[in-house]
Structure 1
Amino acid sequence: SEEHMQEMKDIRDKYDPYGGRAIGSREMLDSKVAEYGGEMLYINKSSTFPMWATEYSRDEGLRKYWDEFSPPYHKDGAGPLHKGQPATMYNRNQDSHARENVVRWFDYWHERPGTGKRVSSGGVNIVFSDTNTHYRGEENYRRSGETDAMRIPKDGYFAHQVMWDGWVETENPRTHIMGHWNYEEGVTKDIMIVSNGEAVELFINGESKGRGEQSHRFLFMFKNISFQPGSIKAVSYNAEGKQESEAQKTTAGKPEALRLTVINHPNGMKADGHDLALVEVEVVDAQGNRCPTALDMVNFTMDGPAEWRGGIAQGPDNHILAQNLPVEGGVNRVLVRSTTKAGKIKLKAAAEGLKAAAVQIKTNPVKVNDGLASVLPGDNLPSYLERGPTPQGQSYVVTRNAVAIVKATAGANQDKAAHSFDENELSNWSNDGKLSTGWIMYELERPAKVSEVTMKMNSWRNRSYPIVIELDGKEVFRGNTDRTLGYVTLKLTPHTGKQLVIRLTGANIDGDAFGIVEITGQIEPSGEGSTAKGTLGITEIEVYETAESLTSAAQ
């Protein structure tokens, strides 16, 4: 409530007046007290109030499952129902999961700062690493993370690294090849590349396979690529055709050995009974390359002053605390915890048919007075400050300009026509369900060369509207609106005018386009709905001209 939010702000201001922390909550789309808002899953926009998605992507995928062509050959989406509903999006393979991350993020990126007065401030994925919170997929824990539970990156991690490399616009060229390059002979599959370049070219063993089909800004698809042992390389280019970035993967040889790598505090492991060392185990070939399709069972033995905490993998009880667990995609990690006795921990890993590996971890004594340590666990850990402070000036590029609407006339429910451009996503306009009244006319603040219309339709995820758009009597668009998780942008035939009319041309096309099911088993409502097939309903509408159009008009 507004009262509770004000109470929370008062507590913050009393105890942390200079912390610079904004306070808000999920929903609160029309709050006068909260300092930010935004729905879970859906896209919200504002010109004055930061709106960001508190969970923009919730699909799940096991890191073990690369794709349908790699061991253990999991069929994408295969798994049991969730609360009686299909759960394909919660049983994805890595390639499908990462692609969905790109597709979902694009919807928010498209409405980023610089694209008008009303913008989205982005979103969070909530689950960065797989976790034992509620789940919807086949495993008994949630696998929505960009990394697995042991912080081993999935393809989705690298996809976000490409898309999020900057404050608003991407600032550093990056390219990532989804998957691996260790397929079986005869495999032909689609190759997906995530890149912030304007174009991407694919090479197999140095031979060009042409440029990829771009979608959702960052995704580049290469159809029917046949596997050939050797190398796969993706090269990105900017708008002028200059090479910007590249990524390459090579075919690993036959699995030969295990490799152990210790990850711990830069100053070493403390013998305080709490400190942990993360130990990575890999299956590698004779040259030390990780074998990306290996699923070998690894048996660990440990000696010394430490407690075994183990890791996680698909199998009985998720192999929790077990000293034998498999690698997945050629890699896994385990944890060992120190005791209060300093010494040397010896860890050995063995697997059938592979050369064993061993590491030694030294734990350092910790000074204790009356049961209290003299140093904090985080002392001397490096801070990541390379990104620097939030830019003082504009950190985005203006790509289009909003043209204000000053008046609306509708075929029905005239008293609510202004609700379609009042910057309140909790209000809307719709006609009375009759095709003959399914129109609304907007008067713009000035004649403008209009190139796009962006709308949040009523029932945005469940209903498509066949419409025609006219500007000063000239038809500039005819087609069906897409069902979305928020806003749909329609590209118009550019034309200069002042009166814009949107008219329904046929019956609505209904049906949920996403099938996203809540943990309760319910589907989240998407605005006000109507069963009448002659309904035109608009929650918010924005009219745009290109940035160049406004510049030309001012000269």
Structure 2
Amino acid sequence: MLACTLNANAATRERLSLDRGWLFHQGDLVEPPIVGHEESYSNAKAGNAGGAAGNEYDDSDWRRLNLPHDWAVEGPFDPKANVAQGYRPRGIGWYRRYLKVDPADRGKYFELQFDAIATHATVWVNGNVVNRNWSGYNASYIDITPYLRYGDSLNTIAIRVDAEAMEGWWYEGAGIYRHSWLVKRSPVHVITDGVHATPRQVKGKQWSIPVEVTLNNSGKTTGDVTVEVTVFDPAGKQVAKRTERASVNVLATSAVKLPVTINDPALWSIEKTNLYRVTTRVLQAGKVVDETSLHTGFRTIHFDAAQGFFLNGVHVKLQGVCIHQDHAGVGVAVPISIWEYRLRRLKEMGVNAIRFSHNAVASEVLDLVDRMGFVVMDENRNFNPSPDYMKQLEWMVKRDRHHPGIILWSVFNEEPVQATEVGYEMVRRMAAVVKSLDDTRPVTAAMNGGFLTELNVSHAVDVVGSNYQVKDYDRYHKAHPNKPFTSSEDTSAFMTRGEYKTDKEKNLISSYDDDAAKWGNTHRDAWQAIDTRPFVAGGFVWTGFDYRGEPTPNEWPSVSSVFGIMDMNGFAKTAYYIHQVQWIKDKPLIHIAPHWNWTKGENVRVMVMANVETIKLLLNGRELGEQKVDPYRMNNFNVAFEPGKLEAIGYKGGKEVVRTAVETTGEAVSLELIPDRAQLTGDGLDALPITVRALDAQGRAVPLAQNEVTFAVTGGGRSIGHGNGDPNSHEDEKGATRRLFNGLAQLIVQTNYEAGDDVTVTATAAGLKAARVTIPVKRVAAVPYVEPADAPLTFVRSWRIAPDGDARPDPNQTLAAFDMNTWGWGSPPMRAAAGGKYHLYRASFTPRKNLADGTGLIRFAAIKGKAEIWLNGQLIGKKDSYAAAPLDVTLPAGSGKCEINVLIEAEAGQGSGIEGDVTIEPSK
């Protein structure tokens, strides 16, 4: 049943979550080869998919779960698996779900939506292949209207996910890792992503939104409608409205243009994220039959070849990061609230630009980006202008073009043909498609060389994106002074959080920003090269966070990268504070690295990071030195360790404006739990990270603690994973325990659906005082969803029908395997007209495993006429009356495929037949 609807008007659009109640099997399910005449014939027919793709497959022993789901993160590490994928085996997996549709919805348009499935996916509905998708990063919108059954006959959705297929050289996860939806619409409706509403500046303070709405008509008659577009300002006040008449032919699409003018809009910027709502309604005979809304923003962007990037006419240096989409504990199945936490951590560091590398991110994340104030390089995954792959690029642009935060479309990352005519021609075609869909933003490509050849990709893009080519910045600009230029990827420096001595045998790298990949630079070098060149629009540090896979420069036992400014939990490394003092100018900041737990007399390198004029360092109140702040290199002191307090004081204009300190701590005596937020929302979706750390007797965090912590979560939530930032850890991310790594770990808790109770988390560790925290849960209405439907029934649907006759036929007669035409075909209800006395129906089915003990029934909703029920050549039941009536027959014990024959004797002059569903189900 459809548990909830989006609004009171049943005729308008309903977008219902399909996340609940999936069945999952890890591993492939291969059916025996098809060799017979009948099997071959049947296999080629619509709705007759075999095995786990089919309608009646026995999935009773499959695991039940809710989406989003990443099965790779649940598995063990394997040193023989792919290093690039973080040594996580991926493989094949199957999902199935049952869907019950109200007969009252007959005639509506039904669409399945999967926001992303890793990696390749084939989708069946009721045994019909309805979609094949060739990327783990784009959504699938699937019209399932023609295949649906209504009422008690459940619909079967089956999905085979091929996660052996790889698109990247990083951890990609496995499974349906973003949300799924069922969307119901009126026959005449706005297609998904069918509203193009990207604002343009006309002149001065006059702007327009040249709205274009694409309609579809799945109905049986021409749709004459009125399309209405209304624009609301950030305060919710209506500022524009336009209507147009449209006529949409049967099973056709039609585009309607409704340009609106907006005078003096509030501009969107990184600091003031003013968003306007564009609502589109479709009215038929005066009644609203479809409605959809999106948010957009008014802003100007310009890339200047000499001075870089301008937003609303104001120069902005792009202080950016590249990020992948996995997080500690959850893999790529990242709740949107955890994305909000990740983006907030970046904002606190001073980031104003993000490159979602190297693929389209979830649409909810772009909504967050618009609200929180970032500009974005939106990047295509597969570099290929062939039709299948061009569809992926078109999808990304259509879905994302209304977002004001997006300032660049990137068509590729680091392609071997980038310096050739082939690369140029491929990009020329892809850029043309982008421009046909959105010509308000420049196109770029992330090139790691080759932009100085005679003909290359840089000649086909609007803004040249450079990965790491610092040595060629000036050379390129001199050769092409009129071409806008940005670093699209830079740095690739190595740090292990909390480590300040490199130990190559243990795959640990110190956090003083001294180590970088041979193709890259340290954080300090990379930013200095960008910031001191006005023509370089900005940069995107590789990477904002550590991520699974690509553990360069290490391999096993390292399973995640160490490129991140933060670790996989969002815990800061030294690089975080280096960039923070470089990128935040409006408040004084100062930080010290490292911690102050060392051996007495040991010589310690102390790095002080500050955005003031001068700094002074003190140890136990004793001045150690004063230095002028170096905004690019930071400041360093060599200090002989002695226990106590190490302080750094920042001065501006000769006055103290900021100070910080690190202290020598004692041994850990207790645990502490620090929730990221004060409250959770009880919708089953909200999740929050909890920092776990160890304290000494004076309540100070112990930076070297490595204790193993056991978690217990009770009440209205559950643990969905944990991490500690150790790139060499092989701990179970879904288990009950996690070791602290250099003093820290992170637990992620998520509310249960319709949770009412608060969530209580307890953390214990041997020899330490336990910690306990209770997080209030706010009760809210559930996101509208489709109620999970169990499938205890097997529906016997595909029947052969013997010719009518007056002589009683042999119910078990043999039909030649190649004879597909002597007997007819049908599905219940099957009614024979008056005339012939005997009617014979034959079908096959395989009972579910739980019915093998003889506790099942063959249930006929109604049979008209006297009947004999034969199973595998044995008479197992009879009906002795002519009147239409239900019939239950006990299913004999046993397993495997069964052949059922139903012989019906008609009353003279009357019709007869199987008049309702035939199901195989438990007797109780």
TM-score bin (small chain): 0.5 to 0.7
> 1: CA distance between counterparts of 2:625 and 2:780?
60
Q: Check if 1:233 corresponds to 2:647.
A: yes
Identity fraction in percent: 21
Displacement after TM superposition at 1:178 (Å): 1.0
Q: Kindly indicate whether the alpha-carbon contact (under 8 Å) linking 1:54 and 1:126 is maintained by their aligned counterparts in 2.
A: no
One-letter code of the match for 1:54? S
Match of 1:322 in 2: 735
Q: How many residues align?
A: 345
Displacement after TM superposition at 1:142 (Å): 0.9
SS of the aligned residue for 1:24 comes to strand
SS of the aligned residue for 1:56 comes to strand
Residues 227-265 of structure 1: CA distance to partner in whole angstroms, max 9, x if unpaired? 233321223456x7555543322333442211112224x
One-letter code of the match for 2:491? S
**RMSD across aligned positions (CA):** 3.4
Q: Check if 1:202 corresponds to 2:617.
A: yes
Q: Check if 1:127 corresponds to 2:518.
A: no
Match of 2:444 in 1: 23
Equivalent of 2:500, from 55, 59, 67? 67
One-letter code of the match for 1:351? A
Q: Kindly indicate whether the alpha-carbon contact (under 8 Å) linking 1:307 and 1:338 is maintained by their aligned counterparts in 2.
A: yes
Match of 1:187 in 2: 602
SS of the aligned residue for 2:512 comes to helix
Distance 1:124 1:252, change over 3 A: same
One-letter code of the match for 1:268? L
Match of 1:521 in 2: none
Q: Check if 1:270 corresponds to 2:270.
A: no
Equivalent of 1:142, from 543, 561, 583? 561
SS of the aligned residue for 1:357 comes to strand
Q: Which has the larger radius of gyration?
A: 2
Displacement after TM superposition at 1:130 (Å): 1.2
> 2: CA distance between counterparts of 1:280 and 1:77?
27
One-letter code of the match for 1:207? R
Q: Check if 1:35 corresponds to 2:462.
A: yes
Match of 2:504 in 1: 78
Displacement after TM superposition at 1:174 (Å): 2.8
Displacement after TM superposition at 1:312 (Å): 2.1
Q: Check if 1:352 corresponds to 2:781.
A: no
Q: How does 1:305-454 map to 2 (within 5 A)?
A: 305-313=716-724, 314=726, 317-342=730-755, 343-368=757-782, 371=785
Q: Kindly indicate whether the alpha-carbon contact (under 8 Å) linking 1:66 and 1:94 is maintained by their aligned counterparts in 2.
A: yes
Residues 304-343 of structure 1: CA distance to partner in whole angstroms, max 9, x if unpaired? 3434223124466234212111112222111123322412
Displacement after TM superposition at 1:267 (Å): 5.9
Q: How does 1:8-19 map to 2 (within 5 A)?
A: 8-18=430-440
Match of 1:491 in 2: none
Distance 1:96 1:143, change over 3 A: same
Displacement after TM superposition at 1:358 (Å): 0.9
Displacement after TM superposition at 1:298 (Å): 0.9
Q: Kindly indicate whether the alpha-carbon contact (under 8 Å) linking 2:754 and 2:782 is maintained by their aligned counterparts in 1.
A: no
One-letter code of the match for 1:195? A
SS of the aligned residue for 2:702 comes to coil
Match of 1:412 in 2: none
SS of the aligned residue for 2:719 comes to strand
Distance 1:267 1:213, change over 3 A: closer
Q: Kindly indicate whether the alpha-carbon contact (under 8 Å) linking 2:683 and 2:781 is maintained by their aligned counterparts in 1.
A: no
Displacement after TM superposition at 1:161 (Å): 0.5
Displacement after TM superposition at 1:109 (Å): 4.2
Q: Kindly indicate whether the alpha-carbon contact (under 8 Å) linking 1:305 and 1:345 is maintained by their aligned counterparts in 2.
A: yes
Residues 325-381 of structure 1: CA distance to partner in whole angstroms, max 9, x if unpaired? 1112222111123322412332110112211111223444443476169xxxxxxxx
Displacement after TM superposition at 1:151 (Å): 0.9
Deviates more, 1:91-100 or 1:184-193: 91-100
Match of 1:448 in 2: none
Distance 1:34 1:188, change over 3 A: same
Q: Kindly indicate whether the alpha-carbon contact (under 8 Å) linking 2:593 and 2:606 is maintained by their aligned counterparts in 1.
A: yes
Q: Kindly indicate whether the alpha-carbon contact (under 8 Å) linking 2:644 and 2:664 is maintained by their aligned counterparts in 1.
A: yes
Distance 1:165 1:250, change over 3 A: same
Query: Which segments of 5 or more consecutive residues in structure 1 lack a partner in the other structure?
Result: 69-75, 81-89, 374-555
Equivalent of 2:691, from 280, 302, 308? 280
SS of the aligned residue for 1:317 comes to coil
Displacement after TM superposition at 1:165 (Å): 2.2
> 1: CA distance between counterparts of 2:688 and 2:442?
33
SS of the aligned residue for 1:158 comes to helix
TM-score of the superposed pair, with normalisation by structure 2: 0.34
Q: How does 1:236-247 map to 2 (within 5 A)?
A: 236-237=650-651, 243=656, 245-247=658-660
SS of the aligned residue for 1:162 comes to helix
> 2: CA distance between counterparts of 1:216 and 1:226?
25
Distance 1:130 1:107, change over 3 A: closer
Match of 2:907 in 1: none
Q: Check if 1:211 corresponds to 2:619.
A: no
One-letter code of the match for 2:717? A
Q: Kindly indicate whether the alpha-carbon contact (under 8 Å) linking 2:492 and 2:516 is maintained by their aligned counterparts in 1.
A: no
Q: Kindly indicate whether the alpha-carbon contact (under 8 Å) linking 1:256 and 1:284 is maintained by their aligned counterparts in 2.
A: yes
SS of the aligned residue for 2:760 comes to strand
Residues 80-137 of structure 1: CA distance to partner in whole angstroms, max 9, x if unpaired? 8xxxxxxxxx741223468999973444444456657xx4333222321111132222
Q: Check if 1:52 corresponds to 2:479.
A: no
Q: Kindly indicate whether the alpha-carbon contact (under 8 Å) linking 2:610 and 2:631 is maintained by their aligned counterparts in 1.
A: no
Q: Kindly indicate whether the alpha-carbon contact (under 8 Å) linking 1:271 and 1:363 is maintained by their aligned counterparts in 2.
A: no
Q: How does 1:486-497 map to 2 (within 5 A)?
A: none
> 1: CA distance between counterparts of 2:467 and 2:530?
17
Match of 2:673 in 1: 260
Match of 1:515 in 2: none
Q: Kindly indicate whether the alpha-carbon contact (under 8 Å) linking 1:213 and 1:222 is maintained by their aligned counterparts in 2.
A: no
Displacement after TM superposition at 1:32 (Å): 3.2
Residues 141-160 of structure 1: CA distance to partner in whole angstroms, max 9, x if unpaired? 11211111111111211111
Q: Kindly indicate whether the alpha-carbon contact (under 8 Å) linking 1:307 and 1:336 is maintained by their aligned counterparts in 2.
A: yes
Q: Check if 1:157 corresponds to 2:590.
A: no
Distance 1:258 1:5, change over 3 A: same
Displacement after TM superposition at 1:78 (Å): 0.7
Residues 41-60 of structure 1: CA distance to partner in whole angstroms, max 9, x if unpaired? 22124243343333322233
Query: Which segments of 5 or more consecutive residues in structure 2 lack a partner in the other structure?
Result: 1-422, 453-457, 788-924
Q: Kindly indicate whether the alpha-carbon contact (under 8 Å) linking 1:271 and 1:341 is maintained by their aligned counterparts in 2.
A: yes
> 2: CA distance between counterparts of 1:302 and 1:289?
25
Residues 427-481 of structure 1: CA distance to partner in whole angstroms, max 9, x if unpaired? xxxxxxxxxxxxxxxxxxxxxxxxxxxxxxxxxxxxxxxxxxxxxxxxxxxxxxx
TM-score of the superposed pair, with normalisation by structure 1: 0.55
Distance 1:317 1:115, change over 3 A: closer
> 2: CA distance between counterparts of 1:218 and 1:204?
23
Match of 1:294 in 2: 705
Q: Kindly indicate whether the alpha-carbon contact (under 8 Å) linking 1:25 and 1:36 is maintained by their aligned counterparts in 2.
A: no
SS of the aligned residue for 1:191 comes to strand
